[in-house]
Chains A and B, each alone.
Chain A
Amino acid sequence: MHVAYPVVLAAMLFSVGVYGVLARRNAILVLMSVELMLNGANLNLVTFDIWRSDVMHSGQVMALFVIVIAAAEVGVGLAIVLLVFRNRSTIAVDSLRELRERTDRDGTAPEDAMDPP
Chain B
Amino acid sequence: MTGVEIAFVLLGIVALSSAVLVVTTTQLVHAALWLVVSLGALAGCYLLLSAELVAWVQVLIYVGAVVVLLLFGIMLTRAPIGPSTDLDSGNRLAAFAVGLGTAGTLVTVLLTGLRHAYFHLGDNPGTGTARSLGDAIFRYWVLPFEVLSVLLLAALVGAIVLSRTNIGRVAAPEDDSASEQRGRR
Contact = CB atoms under 8 A, between A and B. Distances in A.
Interface of A: 1-9, 11-26, 28-29, 31-33, 35-36, 39, 42-43, 46-47, 49-51, 53, 56-58, 60-61, 63-65, 67-76, 78-83, 85-86, 91-94
A47 B49 CA distance: 7
Given A32-B32, A57-B136, A76-B159, A4 B65 contact: no
Given A50-B50, A75-B155, A57 B12 contact: no
A17 B15 CA distance: 12
B95 to A, nearest CB: 3
Interface of B: 2, 4-5, 8-9, 12, 15-16, 19-20, 22-23, 28, 31-32, 35, 38-39, 42, 45-46, 49-51, 53-54, 57-58, 61-62, 65-66, 69-70, 72-74, 76-79, 86-92, 94-96, 98-100, 102-103, 106-107, 110-111, 114-115, 117-121, 123-124, 127-128, 132-133, 136-137, 140-141, 144-145, 148, 151-152, 154-156, 158-160, 162-163, 165
A8 B65 CA distance: 27
